[in-house]
């Protein structure tokens, strides 16, 4: 694959990311409004924040796509929803895991092209997605300890 083909592939990937950011922004806005019960009051506020941040990512991606010679998509990826509080949070968490996986691939593609500046923009976005995932894991009470503590040696 030559440079131009690889760049086209990265731009196509960024447009896919963009369509998923729009979907995430809509999904979080809807879930924030639909969560019910006192236990979910603070979580709903958190999801409203996530919604705004996803639309912010959409704007950043649009600028980047244009800069790289593409046309930002106006398509929206499928939005997941449910009438169950916990199911909505699980859908949101899955969306974050998927986004992180896509962005890590995008960083590899852009860095392979030597575009470290563009890759940096994606790094900044993926850090936010990781924060979103942590918020949701905590809200869902997900226990994910894999490594028990080992004895530390101090000399
Ligand atoms: Fe995002
Ligand atoms: Fe996110």
Q: What is the CATH number of the domain that holds 66?
A: 1.20.1260.10
CA of 136 to the centre of ligand 2 (A): 10
- Residue 143 has a pLDDT of 87
Angle between helices 41-67 and 116-140 (to 10 degrees): 170
- Residue 144 has a pLDDT of 85
Question: How far, in Å, from the CA of 135 to the mean position of ligand 2?
Answer: 10
The helix or strand, by DSSP H or E, that contains position 60, with its residue range, turns out to be: helix 41-67
**Does residue 102 form part of some domain?**
yes
Count of the separate structural domains present in the chain: 1
> Does residue 152 lie in a domain region?
no
Residues of the chain with pLDDT under 50: none
> Which tokens is 42 given?
């603070």
Ligand closest to Cα of 92 equals 2
- d(CA 66, ligand 1 centre) in Å: 18
Judge contact between 136 and 96, C-beta under 8 A: yes
State in Å: Cα 129 to ligand 2 middle: 4
| Segment 93-108, tens digit of pLDDT | 999 999 999 999 999 9
Based on the number of CB atoms within 10 Å of its own CB, is 150 exposed (0-12), middle (13-18) or buried (19 or more)? exposed
Percentage with pLDDT > 90 across the chain: 95
Residue 80 resides in a domain = yes
The verdict on residue 147 lying in a domain is no
Full residue range of the structural domain in which residue 118 is found: 3-140
Distance CA 93, CA 139 (A): 10
Residue 146 lies in a domain: no
149 within domain boundaries = no
Say how far residue 139 (Cα) sits from the centre of its chain.
17
- Is 148 within a domain? no
């Amino acid at each position: 694959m030559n440079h131009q083909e690889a760049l086209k592939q990265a731009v196509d990937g960024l447009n896919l990311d963009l369509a998923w950011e729009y979907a995430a922004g809509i999904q979080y806005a809807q879930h924030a409004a639909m969560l019910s019960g006192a236990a979910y009051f603070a979580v709903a506020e958190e999801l409203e924040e996530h919604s705004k941040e996803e639309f912010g990512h959409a704007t950043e991606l649009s600028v980047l796509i244009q800069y790289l010679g593409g046309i930002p998509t106006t398509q929206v990826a499928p939005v997941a929803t449910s009438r169950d509080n916990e199911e909505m949070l699980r859908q949101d968490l899955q969306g974050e895991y998927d986004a992180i996986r896509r962005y890590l691939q995008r960083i590899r593609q852009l860095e392979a092209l030597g575009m470290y500046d563009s890759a940096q923009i994606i790094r900044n976005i993926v850090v936010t997605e990781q924060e979103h995932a942590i918020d949701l894991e905590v809200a869902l009470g997900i226990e994910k300890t894999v490594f028990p503590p080992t004895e530390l040696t101090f000399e």
